Structure 1
Amino acid sequence: MAKFSIATVFIASISLLLALSNSFSLENPTDRRILVLVDDLALKSSHSIFFSSLQTRGFELDFKLSDDPKIALQRYGQYLYDGLILFSPTIERFGGSLDVAAILDFVDSGKDLIVAADASASDLIRNIAAECGVDFDEDSSAVVIDHGSYAVSGTEGDHTLIAADDFIQSDVLLGTTKIEAPVLFKGIGHSLNPANSLVLKVLSASPSAYSANPKSKLSSPPSLSGSSISLVSVVQARNNARVLFSGSLDLFSNKFFKSPVQKAGSSNKYAKSGNQQFVTELSKWVFHERGHLKAVNVRHHRVGETDEPAIYRINDDLEYLVEIYEWSGSSWEPYVANDVQIQFYMMSPYVLKTMSTDKKGLYHTSFKVPDVYGVFQFKVEYQRLGYTSLSLAKQIPVRPFRHNEYERFIPTAFPYYGASFSTMAAFFIFSFVYLYSK
């Protein structure tokens, strides 16, 4: 019996290692294994276009009911998945060992998360969002209503179906191809916690929108209104984990993907909404198919040399080089930007320079070591909207001149030299006159 148990554990361990071999790594940062939790397995067909787009791009999707008692994110201390999709807005308690703390630990480990809510969002989903700086409307019966930017439909007066087109202006988040058609949205709004600087609006409501119960009269001002309502938001944590929050599960549905759309007050009618393009491009960012940077071959040396020294001397001329690449979803491509800076740092930056690039991934600059000795650091702290952050630091000591490295005669000391020799000459003349005069 013991032999059988040991063999079972061994086989399970080998299977786990094989499963992890193609997972998220420095050389292949795109997520591969994604757990999808749903309230009803019928979502596999009603949202099949979205799931198919992920599978076409090489993702392995594992569908489970959110209350499945066998749910587990990790085994033997290793995570089984690179990403998690929560399409279960009504769930009150997850099955297995999954809870809010486990999901937050999953994100803290650098994994990615997509959360979709709707008008029936449970406290569990709201708590997960709140921990990430996203606050869904506290009124559980409230949805986003817009009498100015609603989608024209056969149901007159129902302005809970919104045609939203206030997108964030970022190519890395939404791709270089402009989204022409508005996005259909039906669900709840949320606000962003001002204390969290990492959360970002991707799709905002129009100035005429507000959050309220559409089945009752509005007796007091709504808690959320205007452009402050966020419909879709993202978070990039300090460990570069990425999280997406949507107030609408229908946003990802086949119905909304295929529906024609016309925004109220506009004569433009589109045969297809912008949902599919919007969701697809945004999911590429969330799962690190775009906007993921890496820095390699960090090096520095004196100008005219190639070897990296163990110590610099004050006033040395040095050169600093680093190569930066961006993951395209299948390969590493040179990253081109004009805002990558290097600091030569000791307590505070003594040198701050913007590096030049050859547009092939290489960034370089040269500068003179300050006339201050001590322990310095080369620091590159690069943070740009939508891109993973880079933090590079390398310590190097700087020494003063040795006694035999100073110039024999320092030009600035000539007045002192003159004063010394003139004093000696005056003393000689005084002594001669005093000794030999009567």
Structure 2
Amino acid sequence: MAGRKFTAISLLMLNLLSLLPLLTISFSHDQPTDRRILVLLDDLALKSSHSIFFTSLQSRGFDLDFKLADDPSIAVKRYGQYLYDGLILFSPSTDRFGGSLDLEGVLDFVDSGHDLILAADVSASDLIRSVAAECGVDFDEDPSAMVIDHIGYAVSQIEGDHTLIAADDFVQSDIILGNAKIEAPVLFKGTGHSLNPDNSLVLKVLSASSSAYSANPASKLSNPPSLTGSAISLVSVVQARNNARIIISGSLDLFGNRLFRSGVQKAGSSYKYEKSGNEQFVTELSKWVFHERGHLKAVNLKHNKVGGTDEPSMYRINDDLEFSVEIYEWTGASWVPYVANDVQVQFYMMSPYVLKTLSTDLKGLYHTSFKIPDVYGVFQFKVEYQRLGYTSLSLSKQIPVRPFRHNEYERFITTAFPYYGASFSMMAGFFIFSIVYLYNK
């Protein structure tokens, strides 16, 4: 009886083990959207004053963990694994993060492919400025400087110092800002920044007007301002080479409920919008930064000889081959076919020997065919795709190319017929000469 009981338990365990792969597959999900986000605040009151923005994220399925920036329990990594997928820094005045997080920790977080939203203002500390500088953004050196615009300011009951500006110079990208046009100007009150010219990955998404400048509104100008005109960036984005995404804003109020709900009338215009463009602008940007839009993936990279289906271990020079790859785009809910006419493949060895633009069937499949060049060695199929707002694709697959074997060359080559004729005529001549010489008296 004991033996039968042991056998039954063993069979049950084997059956459970055999189901584990199925369970793993059924619970896995193939989607890039970050879900666990750490929000660091200067003051917990920001949870209510910026609740519309946070509620928007939570309604889209994000799990927000709110902490004070100097909370000693802060940890973004445990046992070598990151606990969060995204980081929101709404703590411009903090001089030091709590727990194990520091400047290097934030940079390592981004270097590991995770996303970041950073909001600053005139109280931005050296720590926040350093994080921004490492991302290619330099805030005005004057810590009290704000963006001032005496022409493009927002009309209000209190004219003030024209630091509340109505900005409408958006980046022209439907991928970053969505398909719906932002009609109303965005209200901005904060500090401006410039982009590091050595960093090609940073991009302005909201720029100041040509009449704006950065200075201390409480003091008279004694020297020309260091930042002027459209060179001032109000909000910038970065997409790193590892596809991590970053938003850097010079205004924390940009994300606040007050500016979300405020009407806006730009100076010089008689039309007043009942609601500013802040909520739409920030919402669309957050969709982009957390990979709900503009995220690509490539699968099923294949190649084979024309007429064949199997992928060979090597090719021969002058073979005709077919190449294909499938590319899909994440919409925030599902993968859909990505359609474009500028995807290319390189057949590469030290330099590209073949460069072909891929045709698409509009269902995600990109394909082409070409003849292998008359050069043998180790080649690569390379797909390098970079487009504004989209994650970059970098695919490669190695394949050797051999020359003809000795028995694979043509037996007779047409262009060599003169040489064949010369050889046979010389043999015939020698034979005739030998006959004549031997039998001539």
> One fold, TM greater than 0.5?
yes
Aligned residue for 1:237?
240
Aligned residue for 1:181?
184
- Which whole-Å CA distance do the structure 2 matches of 1:395 and 1:184 have between them? 52
Give the 5 Å matches for 1:14-413: 27-413=30-416
Q: Measure how far apart 1:406 and its partner are.
A: 1.1
- Which whole-Å CA distance do the structure 2 matches of 1:152 and 1:384 have between them? 38
- Summarize the Cα distance change of 1:26–1:338 in structure 2 as closer, same or farther, 3 Å threshold: farther
Return the letter of the residue paired with 1:177: A
Secondary structure of the equivalent of 1:353? Answer: strand
Return the letter of the residue paired with 1:179: I
Aligned residue for 2:426?
423
Secondary structure of the equivalent of 1:295? Answer: strand
Q: Measure how far apart 1:246 and its partner are.
A: 0.1
- Which whole-Å CA distance do the structure 1 matches of 2:227 and 2:415 have between them? 70
Return the letter of the residue paired with 1:79: Y
Secondary structure of the equivalent of 1:413? Answer: helix
- Which whole-Å CA distance do the structure 1 matches of 2:426 and 2:196 have between them? 75
Q: Percent of aligned pairs with the same residue? A: 82
Q: Measure how far apart 1:267 and its partner are.
A: 2.6
- Which whole-Å CA distance do the structure 1 matches of 2:425 and 2:234 have between them? 84
Over residues 226-247 of structure 1, what are the superposed CA-to-partner deviations in whole Å (9 max), with x where a residue is unaligned? 1111000011111111111000
Gaps of 5+ in 2: 1-23
Over residues 66-116 of structure 1, what are the superposed CA-to-partner deviations in whole Å (9 max), with x where a residue is unaligned? 111111111122111100000010111111111100000111111100000
Q: Measure how far apart 1:436 and its partner are.
A: 5.8
Q: Measure how far apart 1:269 and its partner are.
A: 1.6
Q: Measure how far apart 1:419 and its partner are.
A: 2.0
Aligned residue for 1:14?
none
Secondary structure of the equivalent of 1:269? Answer: coil
Secondary structure of the equivalent of 1:415? Answer: helix
Secondary structure of the equivalent of 2:428? Answer: helix
Backbone CA RMSD of aligned residues: 1.4
- Which whole-Å CA distance do the structure 1 matches of 2:195 and 2:131 have between them? 14
Q: Measure how far apart 1:158 and its partner are.
A: 2.0
Q: Measure how far apart 1:430 and its partner are.
A: 4.4
Aligned residue for 1:13?
none
Secondary structure of the equivalent of 1:419? Answer: helix
- Which whole-Å CA distance do the structure 1 matches of 2:29 and 2:400 have between them? 30
- Which whole-Å CA distance do the structure 2 matches of 1:366 and 1:211 have between them? 56
- Which whole-Å CA distance do the structure 2 matches of 1:309 and 1:381 have between them? 23
Aligned residue for 2:7?
none
Over residues 390-423 of structure 1, what are the superposed CA-to-partner deviations in whole Å (9 max), with x where a residue is unaligned? 1111100011111111111111211211222233
Return the letter of the residue paired with 1:392: L
- Which whole-Å CA distance do the structure 2 matches of 1:184 and 1:434 have between them? 111
Secondary structure of the equivalent of 2:287? Answer: helix
- Which whole-Å CA distance do the structure 1 matches of 2:267 and 2:438 have between them? 114
Return the letter of the residue paired with 1:74: K
Give the TM-score of the pair, scaled to structure 1. 0.92
- Which whole-Å CA distance do the structure 1 matches of 2:302 and 2:82 have between them? 34
Secondary structure of the equivalent of 1:420? Answer: helix
Secondary structure of the equivalent of 2:242? Answer: coil
Return the letter of the residue paired with 1:90: S
Gaps of 5+ in 1: 1-20
Secondary structure of the equivalent of 1:270? Answer: coil
Q: Measure how far apart 1:330 and its partner are.
A: 1.2
Question: 1:414 is matched with which residue: 412, 417, 429?
Answer: 417
Over residues 250-273 of structure 1, what are the superposed CA-to-partner deviations in whole Å (9 max), with x where a residue is unaligned? 000111111111111223321101
- Which whole-Å CA distance do the structure 1 matches of 2:152 and 2:77 have between them? 44
- Which whole-Å CA distance do the structure 2 matches of 1:297 and 1:108 have between them? 27
- Which whole-Å CA distance do the structure 2 matches of 1:169 and 1:231 have between them? 15
Return the letter of the residue paired with 2:238: V
Q: Measure how far apart 1:437 and its partner are.
A: 6.0
Q: Measure how far apart 1:171 and its partner are.
A: 0.7
How many residue pairs end up in the alignment? 415
Return the letter of the residue paired with 2:33: T
Secondary structure of the equivalent of 1:61? Answer: strand
- Which whole-Å CA distance do the structure 1 matches of 2:359 and 2:270 have between them? 48
Secondary structure of the equivalent of 1:178? Answer: coil
Return the letter of the residue paired with 1:199: V
- Which whole-Å CA distance do the structure 2 matches of 1:384 and 1:407 have between them? 47
Secondary structure of the equivalent of 2:73? Answer: coil
Secondary structure of the equivalent of 1:350? Answer: strand
